[in-house]
Amino acid sequence: MSKRLSKMGWIVIIALLTLALVAFPACTQQGEEEEEEEEISIPLKNPGDFVQQSIGDIDSFDPAWGYDNASGEQVDYIYETLVKYNKESTTEFVYVLATEEQIVSTTQIKFKIRTGVKFQNGNDLTPSDVEYSFERAMIQDRGGGPAWMFNVPLLGYSRTRSAGAVRPGIFDKIKNAVEVDGDWVVFNFAIEYPMLQWKQILTQSWASILDKEWCVANGEWDGTADLGTGNATAWTKYNNPTKQTTFLYDKANGTGPWKLDAWEHGEYVRLVKSDNYWGTPVFFNKVIYQIVDEWTSRKLALLNGDADFVYVPRLYIDELAGITDLNAIKDLPELSNDCLFFNLSIDPTSDLIGSGELDGKGIPVDFFTDVDVRKGFCYAFDYDVYLEDVMKGEGTMLGSPIVSPLAGYDPNGKKYTLDLAKAEEHLKAAWGGQVWEKGFTFTMVYNSGNIPRKTACEILAENLFGINEKFLVSILPMQWPTILDSIFYVGATDEVKGPLPLFQIGWIADYPDADNFVTPFMHSYGDFSYYQAYGNAELDAKIETARYMNASPARDAAYKELADIYYNDAPGIMLVQPLGRRFFTKYIKGFYFNPTIPGQPGPLDVMSKSES
């Protein structure tokens, strides 16, 4: 007996000792963190470089393609535009690759192109490069891409395609839309278009200027219709291409301060200072974007000085509170929103819709065409929990895509709230009662590492299950580029859209106007609404009328009407207009905030890093 007790004693003692050894460092750290939270000293590392850690890979380096934060940010560092915003302002501009402008008429504006500028490969910038860059963007006009902002004023259409085919005569319109006139480049609009809005469009990554000679030498569109074949429609092979087929997908050659040095998919992007940069010398030798999905790794990298800026999910902002060596910038008024979009015409080959029938084991491809389904889902979402727990109260819930302070925004406008009784009522009425009786199963996706979006999916899935145990929604993480490929599905037609039944994505203003929130969300050819199969001619006419109205109470009323339509149609579950935050180490200087570029760490060309 005593021998047995002795054995047990040994086991217990060794177990306790081992546990103590394992647990001690963690406990010590925890304790000290609580007591000395403000005394964490972040060392200065990589003094000449800027290191950012975030969750999403780059979609493409092609300026005409990239329409997401991660891509636009990198493109901005490599390429330059004709004009850019004057620091925080969204209405004042400074010239970059242009030196002068002339508004010739309400349908024509021209810019004088800067001389003495070289591309990173040593080629000189010419007005032809500017003409080529805009024409190429319209020639490419990839589905879900940013080219619509050029198309609308310059061509008079949102897209170069209609009913699944390239519009007749569109090539000539593209060629005539942008012309070289000596040192000047002339933009000829197809419609009267607000010049302020046009210049706002010109500030962003999609308006980057390319090196025509380099592009053509590497197999890009050569500027002609027949591409030297004698076939006048040969150019269409460059229209709406697949992502990786464009040469500029993973290559870059701009006039900006940094050039692309390496892109390891899913791992990192490294930019290095360009020797040919013409502008004011920049501070950072290297700009490094590392993809780190794990929050603890990113946090520790920031606190160790291995990263200068990291993506901080709002759920974890308290973990960085009170650290004096961090520069936490709060309450930035972002012009952005987040939304869950219903796909009204899902690709029948989708793996995410189960059986594809309304039999309890799947959903039909047109499941969300029934407004009662959509409204049932809207009422099933817990907006208060999302705002308080996920967003930490830092934002405003929205009833329509229009955000504050743009025309049509009404803080007291109609908004959905959590109302399970109403959700049940609508879901009972949906599909003639079949939804309630048979139930449904499908999968929602979110971009891997994005905790707020994951939580939004969970809130909706749990509440639907709570309403009826036959309502089964599973949740799947995907990498950011895959989400984009699945939303802006290359195989989408006017009738059939992508494979995601319900997708979640945010929108950041391309230009600070209500039109930039209504068109993408509600127009038949909107960036999101097209891929939802939402919109109709009557609605398009209302949107286009409001677009060209001068700022006035009438314009405000027109957008309020559109906001009401969005609420009544419920094509998506509108979530929040967030307040932005940035977390830098204290060594990073020179940040300023422009609300049209909320996802970026800041204007790196004027930022620096130093002890002082």
Partner 1 sequence: MEFRAYIIRRLLLLIPVLFGVTLFIFGITMFFSPGQRATLYVSSPQQMRDLPGIIEQYGLDRPFFVQYATWIGQVFRGNLGWSTVVSMPVAKAILHYLPATLELALVATPLIILIGIFFGTKAAAQKDKPVDHATRVMAILGWSLPTFWLGLLLMMVFYGYFRGFLPPGRLSVQMEVVVNSVDFIRYTRINTLDAILNLNGPVLLDALRHLILPVITISTVNVAFIMRLMRSSMLESLGKGYILTARAKGLDERIVVNKHARRNALIPVITVSGYLFAALAGGAVITETIFSFKGMGWWASQSALRLDIPSVLGFALFMAVLFVLVNLVVDILYTRVDPRVRLGGGVQ
Could you list the residues that contact partner 1 (CB under 8 A)?
7, 10-11, 14-15, 18-19, 22, 25-26, 28-29, 43, 45-46, 49, 51, 241-245, 250, 261-262, 265-268, 270, 286, 288, 290, 292-294, 296-297, 300-301, 303-306, 349, 351, 448, 476-479, 481-482, 485, 490
* Number of Cα atoms under 13 Å in the Cβ half of residue 345: 16
Whether residue 405 has a cis bond before it, omega within 30° of 0: yes
Q: Which is nearer to partner 1, 74 or 400 (CB)?
A: 74
Q: Which is nearer to partner 1, 32 or 384 (CB)?
A: 32
Q: Which is nearer to partner 1, 476 or 551 (CB)?
A: 476
Q: Which is nearer to partner 1, 49 or 556 (CB)?
A: 49
Q: What minimum distance in Å lies between the beta carbon of 78 and partner 1?
A: 18
Write out the DSSP string of 188-215: E-SS---HHHHHHHHTSGGGPPP-HHHH
Q: What minimum distance in Å lies between the beta carbon of 299 and partner 1?
A: 8
Candidates 246, 220, 248, 219; CA nearest to 79 is 248
Helix (H) or strand (E) holding 581: strand 576-585
Q: Which is nearer to partner 1, 250 or 425 (CB)?
A: 250
Q: What minimum distance in Å lies between the beta carbon of 259 and partner 1?
A: 14
Q: What minimum distance in Å lies between the beta carbon of 227 and partner 1?
A: 16
Write out the DSSP string of 5-48: HHHHHHHHHHHHHHHHHHHHHHHHHHHHHHHSGGGPPPP--STT
Q: How far is residue 510's CA from residue 66's CA, in Å, rounded to a whole number?
A: 12
Q: Which is nearer to partner 1, 252 or 292 (CB)?
A: 292
Q: How far is residue 274's CA from residue 281's CA, in Å, rounded to a whole number?
A: 10
Q: How far is residue 350's CA from residue 355's CA, in Å, rounded to a whole number?
A: 10
Q: Which is nearer to partner 1, 15 or 541 (CB)?
A: 15
Contacts of 514 (CB under 8 A, 6+ apart): 402, 406, 407, 408, 409, 546, 559
Q: Which is nearer to partner 1, 125 or 483 (CB)?
A: 483
Q: What minimum distance in Å lies between the beta carbon of 35 and partner 1?
A: 14
Cα–Cα distances in angstroms (integers) from residue 335 to residues 208, 576, 578, in the given order: 22, 11, 8
Q: Please tell me the chain's helix, strand, coil percentages from 3-state DSSP, rounded to the nearest 5.
A: 35, 20, 45
Q: What minimum distance in Å lies between the beta carbon of 230 and partner 1?
A: 23
Q: How far is residue 42's CA from residue 583's CA, in Å, rounded to a whole number?
A: 13
Q: Which is nearer to partner 1, 71 or 400 (CB)?
A: 71
Q: What minimum distance in Å lies between the beta carbon of 70 and partner 1?
A: 14
State phi, psi for 331 to the nearest 5 degrees.
Answer: 55, 45
Q: What minimum distance in Å lies between the beta carbon of 511 and partner 1?
A: 31
Q: What minimum distance in Å lies between the beta carbon of 234 and partner 1?
A: 16
